[in-house]
Structures are given as C-alpha cells and as structure tokens.
Amino acid sequence: MRNVLLLLVLVGVVPLFACGEPEGPPFKLLVDVKQLMVSIVDPAADVLWDSVGTVISAEGVDEWYPKTDEEWAAVRNSAIVLMESGNLLMIGDRARDQTAWMQMSRQMIDAGAKALEAAESRDPEAVFAVGETVYFACDRCHGLYWIDDTDRGRIRDTPRTGGQ
C-alpha cells in the first residue's frame, strides 16, 4: 500500500517538473496594444468624456448630460469597456513588463470602476469628475510607454510592427 501511494505521488509530481511553466488559458491575441487603443479603449473613453459638458459662448450656456435610459446605458457600457480593457492590457505580450505596466493597467480598471459607479448614480457631476480620473489613468501609462511618439515614452521595448 505504501508503495502504491509513493508511486502515485511520484506520478503526480514528475509531470509538474516536466512541464516547466504552468499553462495559462488559451488566449488568442490577434490585436496588439495599439489596435486595442484605437478600437476599444479610445472610443469608450470618448463616450464617457463627451457625455457631459458645458460650452459658454456669445449665444449663452450650452450644457449637456445623459437624460434617457439609453444615454445612461451608453455611459455605463463604456465604463465597463474601460474597466475590462485593463485586463486585456495585462494579457500575454501586450504587457510591456510585469511591474509598472501591470500597475497602470490595474489603475485603469479602478478608474473604469469609478466611472461605472458614477454612471449608475446618474449624477452628471460625478461622471464629469470621473472623466479626469480616467484621463490620468491613460496619461500616466502613455507617459511611460507610448514609444512611437517622439514627445512621449521613456521605456522602450522591442519595436512592434503591429497585427500580432
């Protein structure tokens, strides 16, 4: 009996060593960070930023904010997209490193969560204020990693050709 147990333990343990890196979920990453920004992150941020505003001109004060259920749902959906994009940014080789990149992706999740809270409260001022929180979450990461713009980016990694 003892020998059988020992055998079972060995059989269980050996493959653990043989496999090396544990295998993660079978993600299939067909777009890179740039495409994520263009197609998912930026449009969602625009919905949030454009949803509340004021323009003061010679004609008077023009104020706008979501009023209908559909309009509030659009803000809510974009907050969720931003939140989940933080996770998408951390997957596979989208992550430029395991430290600051991860922190900033998580900050985007937090900013998105605050945006969601604001959207659910249906408070235009809260939505306006959270726009700034989201903006800073974008900007902090761009300041470090946006490598294709000569004015931006201090950390460089291997150049990307896109479409991977």
Interacting residues toward ligand HEC by CB under 6 A = 33-34, 37-38, 41-42, 45, 82, 89, 101, 104-105, 108, 134, 137-138, 141-142, 145-146, 148, 160
**Pick 3 or 158: Cβ nearer ligand HEC:** 158
Question: Among residues 70 and 148, whose Cβ is nearest to ligand HEC?
Answer: 148
Quote the least distance from Cβ 139 to ligand HEC, whole Å: 8
CB of 142 to ligand HEC, least distance (A): 5
Cβ pair 66, 72 in contact under 8 A = yes
- Residue 65: count other Cβ atoms within 10 Å of its Cβ: 17
In the complex, the smallest distance separating the C-beta of residue 65 from ligand HEC, rounded to whole angstroms, is 20
Q: How far apart are CA 145 and CA 140, in angstroms?
A: 9
> By C-beta, is 78 or 124 nearer to ligand HEC?
78
For ligand HEC, the closer of residues 56 and 84 by Cβ is 84
